Structure 1
Amino acid sequence: MKRYASFFAALILIQFALPGVIEAKVADYPLQTKYPNIMLYQGEVPKKVIALTFDDGPDARYTPKVLDVLKKYHVKATFFLLGSRVKKYPDVAKRIVEEGHAIGNHTYWHPQLTKTGIDNMKWEIKRTTKEIERATGHHTSLFRAPYGALNDKLVKKIGDMGYKGIGWSIDTNDWKELPTKKIINNVMNYAHPGAITLMHSAGNWTLDLSGTVQALEKIIPRLRKEGYEFVTIPEMWKISHP
């Protein structure tokens, strides 16, 4: 699922290039600048808060392990869920909500929406919403596009549908099966107030995300030592839109 082709990697680098540790600013994200009431890539905040987010779950291998680490450190995160996997693992999706984490819609089949178009996006969102509500009893107004691939028309439609589009300002690249130390560095070297980190709690059945789980054990205490407070995306949104 996350073994992206070079085209997608280039797309991410072009549209969501990592900001500097100190110079991180909302202006680095044109869609957030243009549609501040719809899009959020990083929070506009005066204090050290950071949001951990996890894509492509749930599954029965890594999502429970990620949840175990978050529970150990009393951290609430945000999970962007695939409808097809919520249907397959409803109990894990339910656990995410029961343990106090926020959830978001990440489409049903993980298409590149800039290629499949508005009608497909509407179907993907609505189908996933049904599966999430069936499994958890909760509705989410958060949406993250696969690969972060969006354009103006898609963003406007996301807003029309009553959703908030969520991107990220720190990409851990954990889907590349990076060593634990590298994943840790990808977070710690770019941490900034209002950061939204992209990690994964599931992936292709051959994908090894053990590095993500192990890195999370180190990242949380290190960020806390540096004075960071962990928030969910709904909390980050409220801080950024007082």
Structure 2
Amino acid sequence: MTKRLWSFSIVCLLVTSCGAPLTKPYQDQSSAQHSTPNVTQTSMEASRDFAESPFPTEGSNHLSMLPPASMPSSSALPIAPTRAPSHTHAPSPTSTPSLNLKPKSNPKRSVAQPEASKRPSLPVQKNQGQVRISQKKLTLSQLVVKYPETFKLRGSSQEKKVALTFDDGPDTRFTPKVLDALKANQVKATFFVLGAMANTHPDVIKRIVNEGHVIGNHSYSHENLPKLSVDKFQNQIESTETILQNLIGYAPRLIRPPYGAINEDQVKWIANHHYLIVNWNVDSLDWKSLSSDQVLHNILQQTKPGSIILQHSGGADSQDLSGTVQAIGPLITKLKAAGYTFVTVPELLHVTKSK
């Protein structure tokens, strides 16, 4: 009886000692489960901030650019190698710091973005450079390229035609002799005359026209046009036009600036008033009072189909244009023998002589 009583007591003690530690782990686990929603909410908030951030991070595969509603579950979010690997169940509290993406730093980055957009781009800087270049004065060759319909140096190279032109007349010393030589060789030329000289020698102007030659405007007093004010430049052209129109019955369309010099603003004015600038591509250099052989050589070595040849029929009292007069006959003979035809500038350029 006593032995049975002791056995029963020992069994009871064993049962009591074994049951006590079983309840505490269960309660701890239950407590951990109750804290899980809070941990899970924290990680999802971090994921949502990650998804809403406009800046893709390394390894994101651009999933962060998707709207929050289309984002995959937190288990599918890519995590940088420094973060703990993701799991299908809610992470433990110890893994929470690894999901802290510091969303507060994103607004600072988004604020800096508009400031960067205010900086001038490279194309703007290039355009500014182009504006500075366009403000530079253009050379005569550049003006010819830029205004091909207003500025001419030659005719078509497809036609074996040339035009003789004579500047700075009329006078009574050399212009009549030039006219005599042209008449003897049955060639028509173009005379770019000065308004002041035309006003002084109207009879010579009328002879030029009566013999079938063309008149062009060479300014009034042979000024260097680019150095003139706008008003003085216009007066040089318009006063000469008025004189010539009264003498020959038309306003010449052709203008040859003295020295061939002109600036872009003046070219624009001429274009707007329906004139045509005619310079040359063959220079005889006869204004240097050269001999006939020198004049002839200078012209022949430069002449090609479509050439406009520069000579003079008047000038300063110190200039001797005898070589010009004497070279006309041999020049016409040689070029005709080479198959060239002599025409006036309007015929060469296929334009009208008057405005």
TM-score w.r.t. length of structure 1:
0.85
Q: Tell me by how many angstroms 1:77 deviates.
A: 0.5
Give the alignment of 1:60-75 within 5 angstroms. Answer: 60-75=172-187
**Structure 1 match to 2:290:** 178
CA contact (8 A) 1:50 1:193 kept: yes
Residue 30 of structure 1 and its aligned partner are, at CA, apart by: 3.0
Tell me the amino acid that sits aligned with residue 104 of structure 1: G
* Larger CA Rg, structure 1 vs 2: 2
Q: Helix, strand or coil: the match of 2:223?
A: coil
SS in 2 for 1:36: coil
Q: How does 1:30-109 map to 2 (within 5 A)?
A: 30-109=142-221
Aligned partners of 1:187 and 1:134: how far apart in 2? 34
> Any idea what SS the aligned residue of 2:148 has?
coil
1:128 matched to 2:240? The reply is: yes
Partner deviation per Cα, 1:149-201 (whole Å, 9 max, x = no partner): 01211111111122100000001110000111110001100110110011000
Q: CA deviation at 1:202?
A: 0.3
Q: Does the CA-based 8 Å contact 1:54-1:80 persist in structure 2?
A: yes
Question: In structure 1, how many angstroms separate the alpha carbons of the residues matched to 2:230 and 2:304?
Answer: 33
Report deviation, 1:144: 0.4
Aligned to 2:318: 206
Q: Show the counterpart of 1:233.
A: 345
Q: Is the 8 A contact 1:201 1:209 kept in 2?
A: yes
Unaligned runs of 5+ in 2: 1-138
1:44 Cα deviation after fit: 2.4
Deviation at 1:33, TM superposition (A): 2.0
User: Aligned ranges for residues 155-194 of structure 1 at < 5 Å?
Assistant: 155-194=267-306
Deviates more, 1:118-127 or 1:166-175: 118-127
Equivalents in 2 of 1:138, 1:209: separation in Å?
A: 29
Alignment of 1:142-157 (within 5 A): 142-157=254-269
CA contact (8 A) 2:291 2:322 kept: no
Cα distance between partner residues in 2 of 1:131 and 1:174: 27
Contact 1:118 1:157 in 2 (8 A): no
CA contact (8 A) 1:108 1:128 kept: yes
Partners of 1:235 and 1:117 lie apart in 2 by 33
Q: Secondary structure at the match of 1:125?
A: helix
Please say which of residues 109-118 and 167-176 is displaced more in the overlay: 109-118
Q: How many residue pairs get matched?
A: 213
List alignment gaps of at least 5 residues for structure 1.
1-14, 17-28
- Aligned-pair identity (%): 45
Higher relative contact order (CA 8 A, sep 6+): 1
Q: Which residue of 1 aligns with 2:50?
A: none
Indicate if the aligned counterparts of 2:157 and 2:304 stay in contact, CA closer than 8 A.
Answer: no
Contact 1:90 1:136 in 2 (8 A): no
Tell me the TM-score normalised to structure 2 length.
Answer: 0.58
1:113-166: CA deviation from partner (whole Å, max 9, x where unpaired): 111133212101110011111222232111000000012111111111221000
Q: Deviations over 1:74-110 (max 9, x none)?
A: 1010000100000000000011011111110000011
SS in 2 for 1:50: strand
> Contact 2:162 / 2:307 at 8 angstroms: preserved in 1?
yes
Measure, in 2, the Cα distance between the counterparts of 1:126 and 1:39: 19
The corresponding residue for 1:112 is 224
Q: Counterparts of 1:186 and 1:45 in 2: how far apart (Å)?
A: 20
Give the 3 Å change call, closer, same or farther, for CA 131–163 of structure 1 in structure 2: same
